[in-house]
Amino acid sequence: MTERTEGIALVLFTACTWGLTWPQSKFLLTMLPPFSMRATCGVLGCCVAFSVALIRGENLWPPRDQWPRLILFAMLNYGLFIVLTTLSLALLKASEAVVITYTLPVWAALLAWPMLGERPTVTKVVALVLAMSGVALLVGADTAEATWQKLPAAGLSLAAAMLFGLGTVLAKKHPLRLPPATSVAWQALFGMVLVVSLALFEHPDWGRVTNGGWASVAYISTVPFTFAYLAWFRALRMVPASTAATTVLVSPLVGVIGSGILLGETFGPRQIVALVMTLTGVALAARG
């Protein structure tokens, strides 16, 4: 297996596992309050990430000068991102939330102009128009009343995408000097402080969680939370960032298909056109 082939395989693994997280999280929301669900998966995921770092023999304690940057990245990539996507997932279909959130490469491309000096090309402008048109079509696919009800939730997903895009650009400009698993573990830990704080105001009934629910918790807290990130970091060393960003667009496709199979969510012709427009825009942003 060539390095490029291995890199693409790792990105596909990451994309599929991240995509499956959305319908399973929506499934768990039928049993647990939103932040209790996220906090449970996140705290277990932190334990897994630190265990992996120990097994790999990584240095667990970050250098002193990395703490401010580490906390900032944790809030952008985990804490605020998880809070916003959790709220949007509680209000939208999983298939809708995943498509809107995965406009993040578009925002990363736009933010790279003022922060990295990467001027937007005509391709990136077209990408933005396509992606936002797809989102508008997706949100407006229902009745006028339902569309207005969706707007706040869609705004939360877009805000999450923008923050993650900001975190991506900052990480490119000022990368953390930490081993991969250690970086994931600490970012997840700091991000979970915010999520757990919000979960304290909820009153979960743990008896409502079925065996299938606990299986979803086990999956979310291990595979996408830790191993997918490690695969992603390794893949970025093997393939160009544009290739990785384009390939990871399998995530919303998997999320939409998984939502249909696991949750019975339907995607009509208008939603399919919106999905194609959004993903085409994001692909152009990633490659442009």
Q: How is residue 174 annotated by DSSP?
A: S
Beta carbons of 86 and 22 less than 8 angstroms apart = no
* Higher pLDDT, residue 136 or 79: 79
Read off the tokens for 86. Answer: 């959790």
Q: Which residues are within 8 A (CB) of 79 and not within 5 positions of it... i.e. 6 or more apart?
A: 190, 191, 192, 193, 194, 195
Torsion, Cα of 156, 162, 163, 165 (10° steps): 150
Q: What are phi and psi of 58, to 5 degrees?
A: -80, 155
* pLDDT tens-digit readout, 269-284: 877 888 888 878 777 7
Highest mean pLDDT among 90-94, 170-174, 250-254: 90-94
In this structure, of 31-35, 81-85, 141-145, 183-187, the range with the lowest mean pLDDT score is: 141-145
- C-alpha count within 13 angstroms, C-beta hemisphere, residue 154: 18
> What pLDDT score does 241 carry?
64
High-pLDDT (> 90) share of the chain, %: 43
